[in-house]
Structure 1
Amino acid sequence: MRAVRRTIGWIVGIAIVGVLGMMLWASLRGRPQDLPWAPLDLGQPIGMFTGRKLTALTEDFPQCRALLDRAGVRYTVLPPRKGEGQCGYADGVRLADTGARRIAFTPSGLGVACPVAAALSMWEWDVVQPAAQRHFGARVASVDHFGSYSCRRIYGRDAGNWSEHSTADAIDIAGFRLTDGTRITVARDWKGDGAKAAFLREVRDGACTLFATTLSPDYNAAHADHLHLDQANRGATGWRACR
């Protein structure tokens, strides 16, 4: 019995040291989101658990809206929508093209599920704009996209799993337009060693820290002209895809 208590004591002690170590590490890095229990804040630097916290917002529309409000993201709530099968959403928002979000989306009037809007905002602030400044010395003025909500199964098949587009939990990014007039497209600029290709890979890699799924031309031919970003809620496993 004494040996059992001693073993339990060692386990508890190691756990406490581990927690304290995580707290110290997160503090030194200046990234509270490295801690799994730290509340999500869209204004904080991206941490180890930011992506999982964003995905968890698929179950909490009021919290997601509160986070957008706190971060100054301008949006309007969309009425619930119901379509065939599992198609539809009850957490849709339409992003405004002004305010704390300075990137416009083309076509305008983009509507997405709230967790996608939250991740897109952080992607802009922490990934896209810094990458554009590094590679081109300019800001991104707008993002070209192929849309979000689409009532269909994966790859448009007649059977099989429903796409995350069917609940507006996905968006397909086609390219970027900079303030100096430069245009960058996934279809034309993904391959190569130039600044445009490096920029696209950097924003793809950054998206992997924020979205549950990030798919690029490196994945397959179906994604040759866009980046697929989604917030698929995969339950307890929480596995993430980055290709």
Structure 2
Amino acid sequence: MLSAIRIFLAFTVLAILLIKGSALLRGRGQDLPWAQLDLAAPPGRFTAGKIAELGEDAPRCRALIAAAGNQSRPAPSRRESDNCGYNDGTRVSLGIAPSPGGLITSCPVAAALGVWERQVQADAQRLLGSGIARFVHAGSYSCRRLYNRGGGPFSEHATADAVDILGFELTDGRRISLLRDWTGAPADAAFLRAARDSACRVFSTVLSPDYNEAHRDHLHLDTADRGPAGWRACR
């Protein structure tokens, strides 16, 4: 029994050293589970989980947003019931402007959007030859259950821990729509999939038109903290 425990501990230490060594060799501290979250750094394998944990600490979340140069600001709290409302509302203000304006999300969602926009801009330049001026959304907060059912669990929208992205407006005037372009021109479709994939590095759950018919026209992005063994998805 003692021998088995020693072997387990040895493998655990080896795994930790391999993770740490790999991250340091690549100069990516955000790949380390114990590294402090830096919203200005390229996202690592633990970034999404660390952002989700900010839902427990609004002051820290807001401090990290400010340190990263994100212009998002606190918004008034809102509470409709035990299941609906938020105390860490954040008015989103990024280099890529939300359309319509005045978008308010939870603080972790605003933090994740700030990280995500840098990769989305890079992907747009690489795949579409243009920058992004605005992201078109269908809102964040909505006091409702999953899929608007009459019963069952409440949606992450009920606490503003989710935002639905419908598409993008480019600086050259073009518009990219999830509904139209997910299966449209190759470059447009490739960009939307790149946007989905990069979102998976900073959001807890990302659902796209590949997931089901209910998401045919948007990307669902949420930062719900479901713990280390909680359900997560990138689809």
Tell me by how many angstroms 1:46 deviates. Answer: 1.3
User: 73, 78, 92: which is aligned to 1:76?
Assistant: 73
**1:102 partnered with 2:95:** yes
* Residue pairs, 1:156-235, within 5 angstroms: 156-192=148-184, 194-235=186-227
Inter-CA distance 159–7: structure 2 relative to 1 (3 Å threshold): closer
Q: Work out which of the residue numbers 107, 111, 114 in structure 2 matches 1:114.
A: 107
**TM-fit CA distance, 1:14:** 4.0
CA contact (8 A) 2:182 2:189 kept: yes
- Give the superposition deviation at 1:195: 0.5
State how far apart, in whole Å, the 1-side matches of 2:148 and 2:12 are.
48
Q: Does 1:240 align with 2:232?
A: yes
| Compared CA separation, residues 18 and 235, structure 1 to 2 (3 A) | closer
Q: How many residues align?
A: 235
TM-score of the superposition, structure 1-length normalised? Answer: 0.91
Aligned equivalents of 1:53, 1:18: Cα separation in 2:
20
Q: Conserved in 2, the CA contact under 8 Å of 1:150 and 1:168?
A: yes
Mapping of 1:149-160 within 5 angstroms? 149-160=141-152
Q: Supply the AA of the counterpart residue of 1:222.
A: A
> Compared with structure 1, are the counterparts of its residues 14 and 173 closer, same or farther at alpha carbon in structure 2 (3 Å cutoff)?
same
Task: Look up the equivalent residue of 1:152 and give its one-letter code.
Answer: R
Q: Which runs of 5+ in 1 are unaligned?
A: none
Return the offset for 1:217: 0.9
CA gap of 1:156–1:15, structure 2 versus 1, over 3 A, is closer
Q: Give the deviation of 1:158 after TM superposition.
A: 1.4
Structure label with greater radius of gyration: 1
Alignment check: 8 A CA contact 1:52 1:238 kept: no
- Per-residue deviation, residues 41-69 of structure 1 (Å, max 9, x unmatched): 01111111111111111111111111101
Q: TM-score, normalised by structure 2?
A: 0.94
Provide the identity percentage: 54
Match of 1:57 among 54, 57, 60: 54
- Are 2:49 and 2:225, in contact at CA under 8 Å, matched by a contact in 1? no
Output the CA distance in 1 between the equivalents of 2:84 and 2:46: 29
